[in-house]
Amino acid sequence: MSQRPVIVIKGAGDLATGVAYRLYQCRLDVIMTEISCPLVVRRKVAFAAAVHEGTAAVEGIKARHAATVEQACDLLKERIIPVLVDPEADVVKTLHPQVVVDARMSKRNLGTTRDEAPLVIGLGPGFAAGQDVHAVIETCRGHRLGRVIYSGGAIPDTGQPGAVGGFTVERLLRAPVEGVVKPERSIRDLVEKGDVVAFVENTPVRAQISGIIRGMIIDGARVPQGTKIGDIDPRKDTECDTISDKALSIGGGVLEAVFSFLAS
């Protein structure tokens, strides 16, 4: 096992991956946890893809699915980020990491507590610094994005996605019914408003705006009605294979909190 501090990140979606990227680049050891069937939209920039595909690479950093904690520790020695299918994050009880980051973006606390590690960080709404976690990172786009909060919480969830190119909810593709998703278009495809981009069961999902498909969940995923299954970016020059500015800003906030803790 490495002598570097071990950080467990709950979740391996695109924002969690931005956090992992920042920490990895600073030579810290990161272990990520996920559910058995992640419904990740921005799959090209999410280490959660390793759960389905075995491996994943984002901006040159490799992640691999680990079946056991022992395998995860071996991957750390190879400078590969392990992704454990561990919905309850039991690895925290096994390894006793110095830092735990809840990056599941559930808008509520799913059970994370301050006694899980010397430093426990929550991303976004649902956490209260000084109560259930030690620090909260602001995730709302705007002037406060990425700031570290040591007392209180982040800006409450508005239920509205951030505006991109003047569009908010129109950017999102949601399941009109419960069922299995069958994408008709791929990430990076250009689409026009009204195009059928996927089916959920036999019900078509149409683009509400023209743009580039920035994210789409995996073919064959079963989802409840209303689940976000895709994302269209109206900007013609958007990048689908690089970590977003938002994820990097949030990762920077986590990095600040971690190094402040390690220096104390």
Report which of residues 67 and 162 the model is more confident about: 67
> Is a pLDDT exceeding 80 seen at residue 159?
no
pLDDT given for residue 1 in this prediction: 45
pLDDT band at 250 (very low <50, low <70, confident <90, very high): very high
Report which of residues 264 and 123 the model is more confident about: 123
Give residue-wise pLDDT tens across range 198-246. Answer: 999 999 999 999 999 999 999 999 999 999 999 999 987 788 899 999 9
Q: What is the pTM of this model?
A: 0.93
62: left (phi over 0), alpha (psi -120 to 50) or beta: beta
Amino acid at 60: G
What percent of the chain is modeled with pLDDT above 90?
91
pLDDT given for residue 165 in this prediction: 79
Average confidence (pLDDT) over 123-140:
97
Residues 118, 6: contact at Cβ < 8 Å?
no
> Is a pLDDT exceeding 70 seen at residue 34?
yes
pLDDT given for residue 160 in this prediction: 74
The continuous run of DSSP H or E covering 70 comes out as: helix 69-77
Q: What are phi and psi of 31, to 5 degrees?
A: -120, 135
Angle between helices 245-263 and 14-25 (to 10 degrees): 50
Q: What mean pLDDT, rounded, does the chain reach?
A: 95
Of 83, 79, 21, give the one whose Cα is nearest residue 51: 83
Residues 32, 263: contact at Cβ < 8 Å?
no
Q: How far is CA 109 from CA 36, 80, 130, 201, 221, in A?
A: 20, 28, 14, 32, 25
Average confidence (pLDDT) over 173-196:
96
pLDDT band at 161 (very low <50, low <70, confident <90, very high): confident
pLDDT given for residue 238 in this prediction: 83
pLDDT given for residue 236 in this prediction: 77
Q: How many angstroms separate the CA atoms of 202 and 186, rounded?
A: 18
